[in-house]
Amino acid sequence: MMEGREDSDVIEQQVEDNTENSSRSLVSPAGGGRGPCSSSQRLLNYSDALISIIATVMILPVAHTKMEDDEQLRQSFQLLLTTKIAVYLMTFLIVTVAWAAHIRLFQVIVYVDDCLALLNLACMMIITFLPYTFSLMASFPDNGLGLLLFCGSVMIIGLIQSGIVLYAFSRPVLLSDQIQMSENRSSYKHHILKVIMRVPIMCFFASVISFVFFQLSYALLAVVVFLPYISQGVKWCRSKAIGHVDESPDAMLFSSFLPSEALSKERVEAFSDGVYAIVATLLILDICEDNVPDPTAVKKTFGGSLVAALQVYGPQYLAYFGSFATVGLLWFVHHSLFLHVTRTTRLMGLLNTFSLAFVGGLPLAYQLTQEFPRNSRNELEAVQISCVIVFFAGIFQLSIFVVALFSQQETLHPHVRHGGREHVFMLAKLALYPCVALTTFVLTCFLTKFSASIFHLMEVTVPLAFLVLRLSVRLGLAALRHVFCPEALGRQSVLEDVVEDNVPFNT
């Protein structure tokens, strides 16, 4: 036992060392000279957590829309549900646009003091109010109030952010080192202010126009919110199609602070983690609240048998574990992917947003699959919708990787680039969910009777598939090699190199 004790001491020492190191990296490197300001890391983590919760909040009204059995009401119900889903998707995109602006701002301001932290909290408070204003707009499209509230919120956010920029430039120690040392700091400040105030000013015009002509102001808002993404996407396609295009200063002014600046990888990860965590626990929130039976009801209806009372909720538990496992595994794939990403371009960020938006709908789809009687038409639809959602969530993750491969020198670690050691394995991981979802979808079209069984089978096999993925990729590659180039078995080919390094867990 004495030996064990010595060990412990060594480890304790190391734990202390770690703490020391990390706390050193958290406060500003310049130390005392910067006085009461510090690295913005934790402020950004908290902001990311808030924004990820807010982005997914509008899925709750969708979740709690109860299906009517009445055929007559069904049409109006479907319209309501479609509206709610549209609101969810639009809110998700709008909030992520606000989040991207927040990232850009804090790539320029890298240290925070108390005043900045408080201003940022005020900004967050207004951002968390955006989904509600948007949902008012969707429920009352003919009433100007929702539009005015939305525009008002955006204008306040713009003013607070301008305040943040002015404050930070008045105390240059807060800025990133390169701006601090640059000579034309003030021209830089004006540029950033222009970019920040552009959206609020357009919102101001939209709110003025709304008193006269509604449709125009909605169109204006749509342009304002999504143009950066659209222009970025078009630019990327053009540059891939006809080679590198020189950025004009105008385009740069319009799209961002910096022409082709990357999103901060840590913040994309933190935001994604927040969304995955909220979505994974969405169903347990409902279960904890609604599915604890009432003691008197248990006595009356089930003769005091708690087991019988809980059996009623059985499908809900199944739905919870199924959706937690699926969301968890999608997070796992995302985690594996971003271990190998060195730089997140804006297009990759956009694809990530789309993937997350689909992940948000997943628990509800899973819940629906358990809600209907066996072999009903509704059950089949619910299973198929679940497959579609899983498919799109997975396919957008895959497309992040594909887009990253296009400019792999900048965006990927060497060992996952074309021909790199981990390349095949990464592709297999990313392709697993889309393939399984597609297969399940096709199978349920033919074997409608067994749709639920097929779906449950999928839920169980996928986690196992992830466990044996390394092994099966290795076997698959070996088989391919055996079929296509049996004479290469003795030589050291590229494929073999790939395979050898993919030994499940080299000892």
Give, as ranges, the residues between 462 and 481 that touch a second copy (CB under 8 A): 463, 466-467, 469-470
For residue 412, list its beta bridge partners. 341
Cα–Cα distance, 108 to 502 (Å, whole number): 41
# of chain residues touching a second copy (CB under 8 A): 130
Q: 56 or 353, CB closer to a second copy?
A: 56
> Does position 191 bind a second copy by CB under 8 A?
yes
User: Which parts of 223-282 interact with a second copy (CB under 8 A)?
Assistant: 249, 252, 257-262, 264-266, 269-270, 273-274, 276-278, 280-281
Min separation Cβ 457 and a second copy, Å: 19
Q: 343 or 481, CB closer to a second copy?
A: 343
Q: Among 71-79, 217-225, 317-325, 477-485, which window interacts with a second copy (CB under 8 A)?
A: 317-325
Give whole-number Cα distances, 310 to 86, 206, 232, 286, 298, in Å. Answer: 35, 53, 52, 15, 9
Min separation Cβ 260 and a second copy, Å: 8
User: Which parts of 20-39 interact with a second copy (CB under 8 A)?
Assistant: 20, 22-23, 26-27, 32, 35-36, 38
Q: 188 or 378, CB closer to a second copy?
A: 188
| Radius of gyration in angstroms for the set of CA atoms belonging to the chain, rounded to a whole number | 26
67, 77, 214, 343: which one binds a second copy (CB under 8 A): 343
Q: Among 127-135, 222-230, 374-382, 451-459, which window interacts with a second copy (CB under 8 A)?
A: 127-135
Q: Among 138-146, 207-215, 370-378, 437-445, which window interacts with a second copy (CB under 8 A)?
A: 138-146
341, 368, 430, 452: which one binds a second copy (CB under 8 A): 341
Are 34 and 173 a contacting pair, CB within 8 Å? yes
**Would you give the DSSP letter of residue 32?**
G
Q: 131 or 394, CB closer to a second copy?
A: 131
79, 145, 442, 460: which one binds a second copy (CB under 8 A): 145
**130: burial class by Cβ within 10 Å (0-12, 13-18, 19+)?**
buried
> Does position 198 bind a second copy by CB under 8 A?
no
Min separation Cβ 47 and a second copy, Å: 9
Min separation Cβ 445 and a second copy, Å: 31
Count of beta carbons in the 10 Å neighbourhood of residue 312: 12
Min separation Cβ 249 and a second copy, Å: 5
Min separation Cβ 378 and a second copy, Å: 24
232-252: buried (b, 16+ CB within 10 Å) or exposed (e) per residue?
Answer: beebbeeeeeeeeeeeeeeeb
| Cα 317 off chain centre by | 25
Give whole-number Cα distances, 191 to 116, 186, 229, 256, 450, in Å. Answer: 20, 9, 20, 10, 61
Cα–Cα distance, 336 to 160 (Å, whole number): 37
Min separation Cβ 483 and a second copy, Å: 26
Q: 56 or 369, CB closer to a second copy?
A: 56
Min separation Cβ 377 and a second copy, Å: 29
Residues 6+ apart with CB under 8 A from 285: none
User: Which parts of 410-439 interact with a second copy (CB under 8 A)?
Assistant: 410, 413, 415, 422, 425
> Does position 214 bind a second copy by CB under 8 A?
no
> Does position 86 bind a second copy by CB under 8 A?
no
> Crossing angle for the helix pair 314-339 and 346-371, nearest 10 degrees?
160
Min separation Cβ 160 and a second copy, Å: 13
Min separation Cβ 264 and a second copy, Å: 7
3-state SS assignment for residue 351: helix
For residue 48, list its beta bridge partners. none
Sign of CA dihedral 350, 352, 355, 356: negative
| HSE value, Cβ hemisphere, 13 Å, CA-based, for 407 | 18
Q: Among 223-231, 331-339, 354-362, 381-389, which window interacts with a second copy (CB under 8 A)?
A: 331-339
Give whole-number Cα distances, 164 to 114, 118, 196, in Å. Answer: 12, 10, 11
> Does position 14 bind a second copy by CB under 8 A?
yes
335, 375, 457, 480: which one binds a second copy (CB under 8 A): 335
Output the six-digit token pair for 30: 């310049």
29, 30, 42, 402: which one binds a second copy (CB under 8 A): 42
* Longest Cα separation, the chain: 83
**15: burial class by Cβ within 10 Å (0-12, 13-18, 19+)?**
exposed
Q: Among 213-221, 238-246, 326-334, 484-492, which window interacts with a second copy (CB under 8 A)?
A: 326-334
- Residue 38: φ, ψ to 5°: -150, 165
Are 170 and 111 a contacting pair, CB within 8 Å? no
Q: 327 or 383, CB closer to a second copy?
A: 327
Min separation Cβ 453 and a second copy, Å: 22
Are 352 and 268 a contacting pair, CB within 8 Å? yes
Q: Among 236-244, 320-328, 383-391, 485-493, which window interacts with a second copy (CB under 8 A)?
A: 320-328
